[in-house]
Structure 1
Amino acid sequence: MVEQFKKASAERDMILIHQNMQRTFALRREEIVSSAPPIGELKARWPALFCEAQLYSEFHRITNHNLPFAFFAALDNYTPKLLKLYKKRKTGIFGEKIEQLLLAYEEQDKNNIGAARTAALAGLPLYLKEDSSEVFKTCKEESEADQEGPVALVAVVNGEVPAGIPFEINHVSVVLEGQVVMYHRSWTDSLVGLFGLMYALHLSYPEKLSGFFEFIQVVLLKLDDGRKQLKPKLQALRNELE
């Protein structure tokens, strides 16, 4: 597999790569879960994990879920409800930031489903009173993305970012342990990729955004089988949405 990823993407034998990833799944999971190798080592040893198609296949092996399908189906169901809840929270520092987000969203094309998805997801940490600034970032130069910390989504933009929400971007870099590991053209797609990587690489959620990622795990993807005891604010949010 390593030799295959030394070739140009068009020349790789993706069927062979997929078959080998299937055969080595148990070995890989034991290695990742028990040893927690550095990201650089994992990229060198298992490069297919950082290829979108193989990452989603790995997520399916672990959870039996089609990650992008399940994520966006649930998100599109909850987005109108989330935006409605955000409009009710207008007090305090987080309420003011939510109001700025909603004002920025009002300037977007309402036929653009990506804008609604971005507003719903970007507003969630504010609603949960979590600080997303160490994970969700923007920059104007691609070279800046490599310096953005242990876990980050860095949107590369041309100009100003209304309310700090990356509605219009060039692309998004997914950063783990200070190095870019994946690229996406959409902020929401990059978030799906990041969540998949955290599962595939057995990474802990960023502490300051633990509620946000638990919402994705438990409410959007229903990966807890009803066993996980949610924090009160998350349980309250789930009750509001159902």
Structure 2
Amino acid sequence: MVMFIVRLPHFTSRLPVYQRWPALLETSRIQDEFHRITMVHLESKFMSKLDEYTPGLLKLFHSKGGTMGLKLKAVLIQTPSNPNINITREVVIRCLMVYLGERTDQLLKEYDDADSASQDLAVQGMAIYSIKTNASEGSHDIGIVVEGIRVLTSQGTIPRACCMLIGIAYAVNLAYPKQLNYTFEAFQKLFLELDCSKLSPKLNSLKNKLLA
């Protein structure tokens, strides 16, 4: 399937996503619709390919020098000594964004409380948010905002939210944010293997390094 990458229109030009497809915006329905469109099982495919590429990606990140290496190291050193699989997946995604030259804060919005999140999320086109719900326990509400509306909540982890965001984009035919072209290309073509014969030079170089 070819995914056309264009800029999102202004929010006022059409009905919000939750009004156009109110019954679709549930995790199970998004996965079903994604499978109907692509014949790919969204979450299992995304996670399995992410895990498959993780050793090679981590090796690549650790070997990078210069300014890029310092940026990657700043992410990598936050990894606990015995990370679980979800922490490892999140670190790899964050490092991948940095490696591709894109800013993690363009996609991942992090807040200390719901009050500080509300105003900022209201102007986001497409993003994943993480709001602290219990500082002492380190728990968070992780969800997805599209066109200023929280369309999915309680996703549990950043990697799962990334996966579901791709599903939403396919299910309701949304364009990827221009400033995150490479990140979404990696999600779509590297992890989900959709339209993967047509890679940008940057993603093609990355894939060749991983397969070398």
The bucket for the TM-score relative to the shorter chain is: 0.7 to 0.9
Whether the 8 Å CA contact 1:153–1:190 is kept in 2: the answer is: yes
Q: Does 1:80 align with 2:51?
A: no
Q: Which letter maps to 1:170? A: H
Normalised to the residue count of structure 2, the TM-score between the two structures is 0.84
What is the distance in 2 between the residues matched to 1:223 and 1:71?
Answer: 11
1:95 has 2:69 as partner:
yes
Cα distance in 1 for residues equivalent to 2:31 and 2:209: 30
The CA deviation at 1:144 is 3.7
- Alignment RMSD (CA, Å): 2.1
Q: Shift of residue 135 of structure 1?
A: 1.8
1:220 partner letter: F
The CA deviation string for residues 58-78 of structure 1, in whole angstroms up to 9 with x for no partner, is 001110111001001101101
**Secondary structure at the residue paired with 2:174?**
coil
Specify the code of the residue in structure 2 equivalent to 1:188: P
CA–CA distance in 2 between the matches of 1:201 and 1:49?
A: 9
Letter in 2 for 1:140: D
Amino acid at match of 1:90: G
1:130 matched residue in structure 2: 102
Aligned to 2:5: none
Corresponding residue for residue 27 of structure 1: none
* Residue 79 of structure 1, CA deviation: 1.0
Counterparts of 1:36-47 in structure 2 under 5 Å? 38=14, 40=16, 42-47=17-22
Q: CA deviation at 1:141?
A: 1.6
CA distance change for structure 1 residues 88 and 120 in 2, over 3 Å: closer, same or farther?
Answer: same
**Where in structure 2 are the equivalents of 1:128-167 lying within 5 Å?**
128-146=100-118, 147-148=120-121, 149-157=124-132
Confirm or deny: 8 A CA contact 2:109 2:129 kept in the other structure. Answer: yes
Rg comparison, structure with higher value: 1
Distance of 1:101 and 1:198 partners within structure 2: 27
Question: 1:236 and 2:210 equivalent?
Answer: no
**Kindly tell me: are residues 179 and 45 of structure 1, through their superposed partners in 2, closer, same or farther at Cα, counting changes over 3 Å?**
closer
Tell me the percent identity: 32
Cα offset, 1:142, TM superposition? 2.0
Which residue number in structure 1 is paired with residue 152 of structure 2? 182
Q: CA deviation at 1:199?
A: 1.1
CA shift in 2, pair 1:169/1:100, >3 Å: farther
SS of residue paired to 1:99: helix
CA distance in 2, matches of 1:198, 1:115: 24
Residue 216, structure 1, aligned to residue 190, structure 2: no
Change (3 A) 1:225 1:75: closer
Contact 2:144–2:150 (CA under 8 A) maintained in structure 1: yes
Partners of 1:47 and 1:136 lie apart in 2 by 24
- Structure with greater proportional helix content: 1
CA distance in 2, matches of 1:108, 1:173: 27
Amino acid at match of 1:109: N
User: Given that residues 59 and 200 in structure 1 are in contact (C-alpha distance below 8 angstroms), is that contact kept between their aligned partners in structure 2?
Assistant: yes
Give runs of aligned pairs for residues 162-173 of structure 1, distance below 5 A.
169-173=139-143
Higher RCO structure, 1 or 2 (CA under 8 Å, sep 6+): 2
Does residue 194 of structure 1 match 2:165?
A: yes
Deviation of residue 143 (structure 1)? 3.7
Sort the Cα spacing of 1:125 and 1:189 in 2 relative to 1 into closer, same or farther, 3 A.
Answer: same
- Go from structure 1 to structure 2 and tell me whether the alpha carbon gap of 1:145 and 1:49 turns closer, same or farther (over 3 Å shift): farther
Q: Aligned residue for 1:70?
A: 45
Contact 2:106 2:180 in 1 (8 A): no
